[in-house]
Chain A
Amino acid sequence: MNEKNVFIELKNIRKIFPGVVALENVDFDVRYGEVHALVGENGAGKSTLIKILGGAYQPDGGEIFIEGEKISISSTSMAQHLKMAVIYQEFNLIPDLSVAENIFIGREPKIGKSFINWNKLNNDAAEILKKLDIDINPRKFISDLSVAEKQMVEIAKSLSMDARLIIMDEPTATLTEKEVVKLFSIIEELRKKGVSIVYISHRLDEAFRLSDRITVLRDGKRIETKKTSETNQDEIISLMVGKIVNDYFAGKKEKTTDRDIVIEVKNYNIADYIHNVNFKLYKGEILGFAGVLGSGIHHLLRSLYGAAQKTEGEVFFEGKPVDIKNASEAIKLGIGYVTEDRKGEGLLNDMSVLQNISIIIIKFLTFFKGIFIRQKKELDVFNKIAKELDIKYANINQRIIYLSGGNQQKVVMGRTLVSNCKVLILLEPTRGIDVGAKAEIHKIMVELANRGISIIMTSSELLELVNLTDRCLVLYKGKLVAEFNRENMNEEKLVAAEIGKLSYANN
């Protein structure tokens, strides 16, 4: 490799989080004017790597060279100083400031010491936007822009800092086709100007259209770096998926023979997110939903629980039409929901293990017209579920936050189970949980399904879906694009369908 061509080089990068090795001996380099795609499944280590590049994380081992010189990127401002910009999925833009102000924040052109030179500010911004062929009025406020436009502004902002390396994290996840085309032409422009780009995306076709080279990460390791022209999508998919033996899954679930429909969804629409989706959920079935960011699955499942509103469509629960407006109606029907954001909307931090379990059902464990809690009964309910799910805790008054991730997850699941749910919606049920506890959660899910509870689950670990589910539906940009059953489901097909490469026509 010609050393002079390389802008930045990472050698043997290692990053450890408590209990997890996020990156191990990763080598990565970016050449001048190159688009380097970084691909891998969730948890492969992509975001850790870009955070190291952006100065948000410090590596625990390894070296970084810029133009042959060894450096350390100690902070986000250091990264800016080194002319590297990261465009995160959640933008760092200020909604109530104008486009021009955001592009030049902290570096505004001034008249005298403190007055903003608005003319120069707006002209400079307009010039940068024009260079990129972006048609946005620099005087517009960020809050009035679409997601795509915000992205363009972020790109303009990094260019205004003369960034020589721009890192884009899933830039197309929420863009329309037209906007994607626009973004690609900008990336082409940048490449011509000698700007290097690291491009992270779930959508392999994009990586192939844009990139010069592709690096595949898996389980925190760099698997391969390939010239794009010398590889193809099938090869990359197989590299991403790998042939790891996963021995931590519990025994396969009995095949459902029961064909009672529990939930039927017809012509379902959620503005901006879900377009005309139909599906059925059978009794005792584990139904998987797969899709990458922007697929709309999250909104679909939330609205089934009444935590988001549908715009159109019908839902039938055990044959009867229902209109679920809020969580308490869903609970009454017998639908349970376990969030993927355990900390943000699952755990009741200041409350005990016992209270976390009983919060939904507590109003029924009462005497004296619902005024007083039957503590004995509450304890019985708790003990039963704690034993069933094998929840480990020091004592019932222990605060929930002191439990391990796996036990916290069991508590949140137990909360819905004690209220006798017939349908359990599990989002990312094993996220942030160690291997041993994962197997336990899987075992619990299979047992529940065998008992006749219908489970809807999502997982960004596709192998989990392949191993656990009876059927798996794939959504792409809010539309149902593929359905697999146990016989014809595998990881490669799921990946392909998730990124819009496979649809009903060819599965």
Chain B
Amino acid sequence: MMDESKVGLTSKQKAGNFIGSFGLIIILLVIFGLFSFLIPGVYFTWVNLRDMIRFSSFVGIGAIGMTFCIMTGNFDISVGSMLALAGVLGASLAPRISGVGGVIVTIIVALFLGFINGVFVTKLKIPAFITTLGMLFVFRAIAYIYTNNTPQYIQDRFWISIGNKTFLGLPIPIYIMAVCYGIAYLLLKKSPVGRYIIAVGTNSRAATLSGINVDNIKILVFTLIGLFVGIAAVINASMLGAANPGMMGDGWEFQVITAVVLGGTALSGGSGSLGGSLLAALIIIFLKTGMSNAQVNSYWQQVATGLVLIFAVSLNKLKFWLIGQTQ
């Protein structure tokens, strides 16, 4: 009787599942192999590898919150500006309230901004992207105005060490990223909240009938984005030694969204993968570093990032089409 409910997979479905499971690893290996071959002695070195992973933590941590958000079928396009606003506020206060205080302020500010986004999105009943598009400009403008467009340098040794020191041979951001992914994994897989997030994304009407408060889950998800953006802001400001109201996080939302989409999270919500987002963040940085190392014109790099996003969405479409649940 067991067999009755087991559906035999067609070759198409198998291909779709294969793309879902191994596609990213193959892409990562191909990129890594290609650049190792093209620029021998530069790309495939321990130092370069370590640095690439260190840089990928910036995109990777941001991608966590965005993965949750897109899983619920929403979208936050304001993360880059949120990063800058939280960063400059924290950095500007650090001299007065110590580095630790600055770090905490940065994270709390981002958390709060995310919460505001969530409230607006749920209460206005308007697609999240348009609300957060407005916020993208508001946050950035406030960052400019607050700092009078001057970079906020970070002198505090504790804060500087977060992004630049190593521990047991590995850069600290890698540990932070690992902890963030660990917590996110527990949240998604081992706590009721994770179930609620997926339920809201896969079928919000069914979730409502199951007694889940859909609005609260959405607000929570936007707040989580804030949390991880705050952590990313701390690392980013530390690596650069300053929080710059104009440059900090400019175009970052694009990288983060690309990572999540490339990681296999469906834009329509419901299914998503943290591991996929992490791998995709690595792919983006491996590709970017590789192109830089190979001295590819930076404008070509920009074109490439756009193409990668379109490729990622198309790949997702292909995957779901093969598995047979067209959206």
Contact = CB atoms under 8 A, between A and B. Distances in A.
Contacts of B211: 326-328, 330-331, 360
Interface residues of A, number: 39
Contacts of A326: 208, 211, 213
Contacts, number: 93
Contacts of B12: none
Contacts of A350: 198, 201-202, 270-271
A398 B4 CA distance: 13
A394 interface: yes
Nearest to A358: B195
A394 B2 CA distance: 6
Interface in A9-67: none
B314 interface: no
B326 interface: no
Given A351-B198, A372-B186, A345 B203 contact: yes
Contacts of B4: 392, 404
B5 A339 contact: no
B40 interface: no
Given A345-B205, A350-B198, A371-B191, A392 B210 contact: no
A394 B192 contact: no
Identify which of B6, B207, B210 gathers the most chain A CB atoms within 10 Å of its CB.
Answer: B210
B206 interface: yes
B192 A363 contact: yes
A459 interface: no
B198 A402 contact: no
A351 B202 CA distance: 8
A347 interface: yes
A307 interface: yes
Interface residues of B, number: 28
Interface string A326-354: 11101100000101000011111111000
B206 A348 contact: yes
Interface in B1-29: 1-2, 4-7
Contacts of B203: 344-345, 347-349
A358 B206 CA distance: 13
B165 interface: no
A349 B190 contact: no
Contacts of B186: 372
Contacts of B271: 350
A393 B191 contact: no
Nearest to A342: B206
Given A328-B211, A348-B198, A350-B202, 19 more contacts: A307-B208, A327-B210, A339-B209, A345-B203, A348-B199, A348-B202, A348-B206, A351-B202, A355-B195, A359-B210, A360-B211, A363-B192, A372-B190, A392-B1, A392-B4, A392-B5, A393-B5, A402-B5, A402-B7
- Leading 5 A-B pairs by shortest Cβ distance: A328-B211, A350-B270, A345-B205, A350-B202, A394-B6
Interface of B: 1-2, 4-7, 186, 190-192, 195, 198-199, 201-203, 205-213, 270-271, 325
21 contacts: A305-B209, A326-B208, A326-B213, A327-B208, A330-B211, A337-B209, A339-B209, A347-B206, A348-B198, A348-B202, A350-B270, A351-B198, A359-B195, A362-B195, A373-B192, A392-B1, A393-B5, A394-B2, A398-B6, A401-B325, A403-B5
